[in-house]
A and B are shown apart, each in its own frame.
Chain A
Amino acid sequence: MFGYVRPSAQRLSEADKRRFAAAYCGLCRTLGERCGLAARFILNYDFVFLTALLWPAEAPAPLCRGCIAHPLRARGYFPANEALALAADESVILAWWQLQDALADPGRGKGKYRAAAGALSGAYRRARANRPAFDRGVREQLERLHRLEEARCPSLDESADAFAKILALAAGETADPVKSRVLEQLLYHLGRWIYLVDAADDLAEDFASGSYNPLIFRFALAEGRLTEEARGSLVRTLDHSIRLMSAAYELWDFGDWSPMIQATLYEGLFLVGRSVLEGTFHADSAALPRCRKDKEQL
Chain B
Amino acid sequence: MTDPYVVLNVSSTATDEEIKKAYRDLARKYHPDNYHDNPLADLAQEKMKEINAAYDAIQKERSGRASAASSSARQSYGGGYGGYQYQQRTAYAGAPAFRQVRMAINRNDLAMAEQLLGQIADHDGEWNFLKGTISYRRGWVDEARQYYATACQMDPGNPEYRQALNFVENGEEGYRPSGYNVFSTGCGEDNLCGRMMCTYLMCNLCSCGGMRFFYC
Contact = CB atoms under 8 A, between A and B. Distances in A.
Interface in A121-175: 155-158, 161, 164
A12 B184 CA distance: 20
A294 interface: yes
A182 interface: yes
A270 B135 contact: no
B214 A99 contact: yes
Contact of B214 (A17, A98, A277): A98
Interface string A3-17: 100111111100001
B175 interface: yes
Contacts of A108: 215
Given A8-B201, A102-B214, A237-B145, A232 B44 contact: no
Given A25-B206, A285-B210, A2 B196 contact: no
Given A236-B169, A246-B174, A6 B205 contact: no
Interface stretch (A38-46, A54-62, A82-90): A38-46
B120 interface: no
A218 interface: yes
A156 B142 CA distance: 7
Nearest to B169: A236
B185 A239 contact: yes
Taking chain A's interface residues, is the majority helix, strand, or loop, or is none over half, making it mixed?
helix
B139 A189 contact: yes
A278 interface: yes
A21 interface: yes
A105 B207 CA distance: 30
Interface of A: 1-3, 6-12, 17, 20-21, 24-25, 28, 40-45, 69-70, 95, 98-99, 101-102, 105, 108, 113, 116, 155-158, 161, 164, 178, 181-182, 185, 188-189, 192, 198, 218, 231-233, 235-244, 246-248, 250-251, 262, 266-275, 277-278, 280-282, 284-285, 287-288, 290-292, 294-295, 298
12 contacts: A2-B212, A8-B200, A9-B200, A105-B215, A155-B143, A157-B142, A237-B142, A241-B141, A242-B171, A244-B141, A247-B40, A285-B204
